[in-house]
Structure 1
Amino acid sequence: MKTFAYKDIADMPVNERPRERFAARGVNVLSDVELLALMLGSGSGKKNVNRLAVELLRVVENSGDDVNLDDLVAINGIGLARAAMISASLEFARRRLRPARRKIGQPSDVIPLLTHWADRPQEHFLVLSLNGAHEVIRIRVISQGILDRTVVHPREVFVDPLRDRAAAIVCAHNHPSGNKDPSSEDKKLTKQLRQSGDLLGIPLLDHIIFTEEGYFSFLESGIV
């Protein structure tokens, strides 16, 4: 999450402001926080719009598809009108743009679904539940860690895919350092997840490490 997130937009250089960056370079260059800041439009009281956007992003990521009005109104600075607007926007995205039914045939098919986590300053561990046709059912953030490490247990990885009746999973996590190479812990975890998936009948198809510059696939490297 970029450091700009806690600044007042008025204090930022004009060419770094979300609206001006959007106009100059297009929506794809904006981070999640910047997108939410544009959606919110302004802050509230002593809380600037970027700080409000950071808090909103945390709620959305923690709630996933289950975010509701109560979750949103609980954020200081978001009233009923804003909460309704945000809920409507999320529902529209789910109906029209959600990754469900996106078929995963190779590791590169996963990357467009992950890129908006690549610039986070902490590791995020994600799990994609897939159906029998290898179409995406859900994407979830399972764990958020410190700068260069996140702690994940196989039971946390498989509990939701079991509820989804998933036929397989793909796991992924970002490396804030920019180094795509897997650590010894990454290799150990991948082995544990592969063994657990085989026991549960929900095989691990791949584990992907991604950065803003590229990715590493355990499948492509012959480790999975």
Structure 2
Amino acid sequence: MKTIQNLEEINKPREKLYKKGAQALKDYELLSVLLGSGVKGKDVITLSKEIIKILELDFTSITLEKLTSIHGLGRAKAAQILASIELCKRYVGEKQKLRISSSRDVYEELIPYKDKQQEYFLCMYLDGANHLINTEVISIGTLNQSLVHPREVFSYAIEKRCASIIIAHNHPSGTLEPSLSDINVTKRLQEAGKILGIDILDHVIFTNDGFYSFKEEGIL
């Protein structure tokens, strides 16, 4: 059985990594470094190339069963591969999540809605670390309590187990001052959130020229 130590120096993936960095390695070479050795009847490079072919077809939903269908690949090495894939998914996914830490972040995320000619009432759903899970349009039209029902706002939050939400809507008129209806809707949703255990972190009114934060103004 060939291992990385048996290969010619110039072809050793591990040596190549030392000299040129991991980014210089091909996919199968990276995998061969991870595996370290081949299996009975297959050197590590041959095995790695076979595994890469499987991963290219079904990377996101690869399973232990699919990996062990490769002749000679046992559960231990398959588990190494699965653990590495899952670790990568978690780190990449975490990095890509937008963290909302201020009303400015909310405004910048909702810029696509600032030119709308009708009022768009939106809800931003957050996890426990204030990472944005999703943004949903709840209603379109003049904001009032009949258009914005707590059920419509919180159903997604309950389904996805969100820790908190941020509500927002645009003012096509250009004024940033909240109306009485804006304040009443906010208070109604805040009370519903308290019952459900889902905090409303802010209500942001926005226009082309800026935004108004209920939290910053002390209303929330």
TM band (smaller chain): 0.5 to 0.7
Q: What code does the residue aligned with 2:175 have?
A: N
Which residue, 210, 218, 224 being the options, matches 2:214?
218
Q: Distance in 1 between matches of 2:96 and 2:128?
A: 13
Describe how 1:36-185 pairs up with structure 2 within 5 A.
101-145=97-141, 148-149=142-143, 151-185=147-181
Q: What code does the residue aligned with 1:189 have?
A: V
Q: Distance in 1 between matches of 2:195 and 2:169?
A: 23
Q: Distance in 2 between matches of 1:149 and 1:200?
A: 23
Q: Which runs of 5+ in 2 are unaligned?
A: 1-91
Which residue is 1:186 aligned to?
Answer: 182
Q: Structure 1 runs of 4+ off > 4 angstroms?
A: none
Structure 2 CA distance for partners of 1:100 and 1:220, relative to 1, 3 Å: farther
| TM-score of the two chains, using structure 2 as the length reference | 0.55
Which residue is 1:198 aligned to?
Answer: 194
Task: Note if contact 2:143-2:181 (Cα within 8 Å) is conserved in structure 1.
Answer: no
Q: Which runs of 5+ in 1 are unaligned?
A: 1-95
- State the 1:100 CA deviation: 6.2
Classify the secondary structure of the residue corresponding to 2:123: strand
Classify the secondary structure of the residue corresponding to 1:112: helix
- State the 1:186 CA deviation: 0.4
Q: Distance in 1 between matches of 2:175 and 2:184?
A: 18
Higher-Rg structure is 2
CA RMSD of aligned residues (A): 1.9
The size of the alignment, in residue pairs, is 126
Q: Distance in 2 between matches of 1:132 and 1:193?
A: 19
| TM-score of the two chains, using structure 1 as the length reference | 0.54
Task: Note if contact 1:100-1:137 (Cα within 8 Å) is conserved in structure 2.
Answer: no
Task: Note if contact 1:180-1:215 (Cα within 8 Å) is conserved in structure 2.
Answer: yes
| Residue-by-residue CA offset, 1:174-220 (whole Å, 9 max, x unaligned) | 00000111000000011111111111011100000000010000000
Q: Using the aligned pairs only, state the percent identity.
A: 45
Q: Distance in 1 between matches of 2:108 and 2:199?
A: 22
Classify the secondary structure of the residue corresponding to 2:173: coil
Q: What code does the residue aligned with 1:204 have?
A: I
- State the 1:149 CA deviation: 3.7
Greater shift in the superposed pair: 165-174 or 153-162: 153-162
